[in-house]
């Protein structure tokens, strides 16, 4: 019997390292980043329709607010690119069940785009190779290729040239979420403003972080977390500094603004410490809400 529906589950990410080089002539910055996929998942369900209504979309889930239910949604843009590239009509309904915070620096939109590529490939038997999927993903955004692979990976260029990183062990995270997102371009703009006049060197991968990941040394991973966008995110949202302080007071192994923020990610020793920190953050009154997660996890996957 022909398949008429598929669901793809896709994780969020945190950046363990985000080093931002000088802005290139194309307006983009050279990046070196280390991604880790973590256990907060969106689900994208694609169901064929028979009424010739084209591709339609609806959004559900507790993080649905602020997600566009139209052709500007990154998952819809993935459908548009694939339909043109492979010259076929996608008469299907796409439902995105959002659990990844929106505009939180956790690449939720990119995750949905990656899931949409996988769902369309499966439902329409495109038989795309992994490299072909990655190529389409890179057209949609620099975080999208990673969301197909998941795990732990180094991203270079604009973050889209991926190599997998050797990482051992499981890392436990507490995430301080904010109900109000930060715009990624605004954070890069603020980063440029804060660094104006300073000499910015080419970003380099942190060998000590690679070593700590290889030896499952979460204490050192915590110390080595680094994000060049953090001062800019904190400048635009000063309350982030308070949140970072609360986490450190409660003994987190490390604390970092995730990507362009405003999510703050705390690395903790184990689930128990995660629970204690989650309670402390909630009762501190400086955090919108708190989530717990672990990583690394798989990238987009049919379920
Ligand atoms: P990144 O970490 O990749 O910079 P982010 O996690 O900060 O991204 P997203 O959640 O991807 O941000 O959303 C950024 C904006 O993209 C949203 O404000 C929304 O308008 C738009 N958007 C488009 N498609 C989606 C989607 N599927 N899910 C969430 N936001 C989307």
| DSSP string of 124-188, one letter each residue | TT----HHHHHHHHHHH-TTHHHHHHBSEEEEEETTTEEEEPP--S-EEEEEEE-SS---HHHHH
103 CA to centre of ligand 1 in angstroms: 5
Single pTM value for the model: 0.94
Q: What is the pLDDT of residue 293?
A: 97
Helix (H, G, I), strand (E, B) or coil at 198: coil
What residue ranges of the chain have pLDDT lower than 50? none
If you take atom 8 of ligand 1, which residue's CA is the nearest one? 107
* Residues contacting 155, CB < 8 A, separation 6+: 31, 32, 33, 34, 35, 142, 143, 146, 161, 162
* Residues contacting 199, CB < 8 A, separation 6+: none
DSSP state of 261: S
Q: What is the pLDDT of residue 161?
A: 87
DSSP state of 285: S
Phi-psi region of 150 (alpha: psi -120 to 50; beta: other; left: phi over 0): left
Q: What is the pLDDT of residue 233?
A: 96
If you take atom 19 of ligand 1, which residue's CA is the nearest one? 67
Distance CA(91)–CA(111), nearest Å, equals 22
Domain at 5-165+298-302, CATH class: alpha beta
Domain boundaries, the chain: 5-165+298-302, 171-295
> Is the separation of the CB atoms in 284 and 104 below 8 Å?
no
Q: What is the pLDDT of residue 1?
A: 64
Best residue among 75, 102, 115 to mutate for probing ligand 1, ranked by most atoms within 8 Å of CB: 102
Active site residue 272: no
Considering the four listed CATH numbers 3.30.70.890, 3.60.20.10, 3.30.420.40, 2.60.40.10, the one that applies to the domain covering 171-295 is 3.30.70.890
215 CA to centre of ligand 1 in angstroms: 33
Best residue among 103, 137, 145 to mutate for probing ligand 1, ranked by most atoms within 8 Å of CB: 103
272 CA to centre of ligand 1 in angstroms: 31
């Amino acid at each position: 019997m022909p398949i008429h529906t598929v669901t793809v589950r896709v994780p969020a990410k945190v950046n363990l390292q985000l080093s931002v080089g000088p802005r290139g002539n194309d307006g983009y910055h050279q990046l070196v980043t280390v991604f880790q996929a973590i256990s907060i998942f969106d689900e994208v369900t694609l169901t064929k329709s028979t009424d010739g209504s084209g591709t339609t979309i609806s959004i559900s889930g507790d993080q649905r607010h602020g997600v566009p239910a139209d052709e500007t949604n990154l998952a819809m843009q993935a459908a548009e690119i694939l339909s043109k590239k492979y010259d076929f009509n996608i008469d299907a309904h796409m439902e995105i069940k959002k659990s990844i915070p929106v505009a939180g620096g956790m690449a939720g939109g990119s995750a949905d785009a990656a899931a949409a590529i996988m769902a369309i490939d499966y439902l329409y038997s495109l038989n795309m190779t992994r490299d072909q999927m990655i190529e389409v993903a890179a057209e949609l955004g620099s975080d999208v290729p990673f969301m197909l692979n998941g795990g732990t990976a180094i991203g270079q260029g604009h973050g889209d040239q991926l190599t997998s990183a050797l990482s051992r062990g499981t890392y436990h995270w507490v995430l301080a979420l904010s109900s109000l997102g930060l715009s990624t371009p605004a954070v890069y703009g603020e980063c440029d403003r804060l660094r104006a006049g300073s000499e910015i060197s080419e970003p380099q991968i942190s060998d000590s972080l690679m070593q700590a990941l290889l030896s499952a040394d979460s204490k050192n991973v915590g110390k080595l977390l680094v994000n060049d966008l953090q001062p800019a995110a904190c400048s635009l949202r000063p309350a982030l500094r308070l949140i970072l302080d609360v986490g450190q007071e409660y003994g987190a192994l490390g604390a970092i603004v995730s990507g362009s923020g405003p999510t703050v990610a705390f690395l903790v020793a184990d689930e128990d410490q995660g629970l204690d920190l989650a309670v402390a953050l909630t009762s501190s009154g400086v955090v919108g809400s708190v989530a717990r997660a672990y990583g690394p996890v798989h990238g987009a996957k049919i379920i």
